[in-house]
């Protein structure tokens, strides 16, 4: 698929059919992930490919727990209607685990390391684009407590579950989300 | 260009020829940026397209200041040889400015908002891939103090200069950086 087509046509998908995802497709998605750039080429990522039903249910429970928490904290009533069943329904979830010790120079900065997270986010974007090019739907999910998700996924203490990527054949066409025009977002300093 | 080709062949470029970048190429790169996903589709980004020579020199000075600081802090002697002249040489630098107030639910979390940064990072990845597909070299640059860069770029107090993207025709072939094999990075939970 053409790069620009993948970038513009990718959608967040929240409904999947149960068919398993081909192993070769998963490998292509992971291969795309590791070609993302990273600070000093530290490649600060690991991936856990989750197809285990019980584990997906635990992830869903953590999402639901966070939803209840966020509802109280934010007062955003629309959260009530936010259904996260796709977490259990997605045939595959790939957890992207980041390593803050591989963050380049910003590991010395007061704000703490962020570069490793940005690299992981770039890896996720490569994954989403590649999934779309393979006819798969995807969702970038981060609505969980990091400490809790570390326990659920049995991640080492010093590492961070930066994102979960849900993957599967889409059930229906995900709705497109519009974008504000460039004129609202860009200024020029010449 | 094919998506997979762009993902695998993109390189970090640290040497540019002075030719200006076509406006249509800059627009295509920005258009790609805004199709990145973001929390609740908040589109938490703005872009400053910098071609002003004096401003690029200021950015270079801030990079040099940070290098001196990092050398002292890290003891990484190789930093001495890290030449950042590409900051002044790049015909265009696009600053990606993020808005922490547009970070979805994580704006309520104790660790502070990160989703807006991840969205900006995904936008940067779209930019790098699109630049490569247009025959342009690019560099994702974050080696600066955020408060200082906010002043240099005249960014609103509440917003964050998440990244600078240097763009231009590459001077020579950027060296490829290898990747660890998937077998070192992936585990399966079935």
Q: Report the number of distinct structural domains present in chain B.
A: 1
Using the predicted structure, report yes or no on whether residue A19 has a pLDDT greater than 90: yes
* pLDDT confidence tier of residue A61, bands split at 50, 70 and 90: very high
Q: Are A164 and A93 in contact (CB under 8 A)?
A: yes
Q: What is the mean pLDDT of residues A62-72?
A: 93
Whether residue A110 is contained in a domain is answered as yes
Whether residue B178 is contained in a domain is answered as no
B138 closest CA partner among B169, B158, B166: B166
Could you give the 3-state DSSP secondary structure of residue B138? strand
Contact call for A185 and B35, based on CB within 8 A: no
Least confident of A118-122, B78-82, B186-190: B78-82
Whether residue B185 is contained in a domain is answered as no
Contact call for B186 and A47, based on CB within 8 A: yes
Contact call for A48 and B140, based on CB within 8 A: no
Whether residue A190 is contained in a domain is answered as no
Contacts of A3 in chain B (CB under 8 A): 1-3, 6, 129-130, 133
Q: Are A189 and A155 in contact (CB under 8 A)?
A: no
Q: Pairing mode, if any, of strands B45-50 and A186-189? A: parallel
Alpha-carbon gap, residue B64 to B62, rounded angstroms? 5
Report pLDDT digits (tens) over A22-40: 999 999 999 999 999 999 9
Q: Name beta bridge partners: B189.
A: A50
Contacts of B177 in chain A (CB under 8 A): 41
- CATH number for the domain spanning B154: value is 3.40.109.10
Residue-number span of the structural domain to which A116 is assigned: 3-184
Whether residue B180 is contained in a domain is answered as no
Report pLDDT digits (tens) over B85-137: 999 999 999 999 999 999 888 887 777 889 999 999 999 999 999 999 999 99
Q: Are A33 and A103 in contact (CB under 8 A)?
A: no
Cα-Cα-Cα-Cα dihedral sign, residues B65, B71, A105, B170: positive
Q: Which candidate in B78, B117, B129 is best for mutational testing of the A interface (most A CBs within 10 A)?
A: B129
The answer, yes or no, to whether ipTM is higher than 0.90 is yes
Whether residue B72 is contained in a domain is answered as yes
| Nearest CB neighbour to B32, from listed A4, A43, A115 | A4
- Of chain B, the percentage scoring pLDDT greater than 90 comes to 87
pLDDT at A152: 98
Residues in chain B: 190
Least confident of A1-15, A17-31, A136-150, B64-78: B64-78
Alpha-carbon gap, residue B47 to B98, rounded angstroms? 9
pLDDT at A112: 80
Contacts of A30 in chain B (CB under 8 A): 182, 185-186
Whether residue A146 is contained in a domain is answered as yes
Alpha-carbon gap, residue B2 to A135, rounded angstroms? 15
Q: What is the mean pLDDT of residues A139-155?
A: 96
Alpha-carbon gap, residue A63 to A93, rounded angstroms? 14
Buried b (16+ CB within 10 A) or exposed e, A68-80: eebbeeeeeeebe
Contacts of A124 in chain B (CB under 8 A): 118, 122
| Nearest CB neighbour to B1, from listed A3, A39, A177 | A3
Q: What is the mean pLDDT of residues A5-10?
A: 98
Burial of residue B128 (number of CB atoms within 10 Å: 0-12, 13-18, 19+): buried
Using the predicted structure, report yes or no on whether residue A52 has a pLDDT greater than 80: yes
| Nearest CB neighbour to A121, from listed B28, B49, B122 | B122
Q: What is the mean pLDDT of residues B55-66?
A: 96
- The label of the residue with tokens 């989403």 reads A128
Whether residue B113 is contained in a domain is answered as yes
pTM: 0.97
Contacts of B179 in chain A (CB under 8 A): 34-35, 43
Q: How far apart are the first and last CA of chain B?
A: 35
Alpha-carbon gap, residue A108 to A158, rounded angstroms? 16
Q: Which candidate in B25, B37, B75 is best for mutational testing of the A interface (most A CBs within 10 A)?
A: B37
């Amino acid at each position: 698929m053409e790069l620009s087509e993948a970038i513009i046509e990718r959608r967040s998908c929240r409904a999947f059919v149960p068919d398993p995802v081909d192993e070769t497709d998963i490998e292509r998605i992971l291969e795309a992930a590791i070609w993302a750039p990273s600070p000093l080429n530290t490649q600060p990522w690991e991936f856990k490919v989750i197809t285990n039903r019980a584990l997906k249910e635990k992830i869903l429970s953590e999402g639901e727990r966070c939803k209840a928490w966020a509802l109280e904290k934010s007062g955003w009533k629309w959260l009530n209607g936010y259904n996260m069943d796709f977490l259990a329904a997605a045939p595959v979830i790939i957890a992207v685990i980041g390593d803050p010790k591989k963050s380049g120079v910003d590991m010395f900065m007061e704000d703490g390391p962020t570069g490793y997270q940005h690299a992981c986010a770039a890896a996720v974007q490569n994954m989403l684009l590649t999934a779309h090019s393979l006819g798969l739907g995807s969702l970038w999910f981060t609505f969980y407590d990091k400490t809790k998700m570390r326990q659920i996924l049995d991640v080492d203490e010093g590492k961070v579950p930066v994102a979960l990527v849900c993957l599967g054949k889409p059930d229906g066409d995900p709705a497109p989300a519009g974008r504000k025009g460039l004129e609202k977002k860009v200024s020029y300093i010449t």
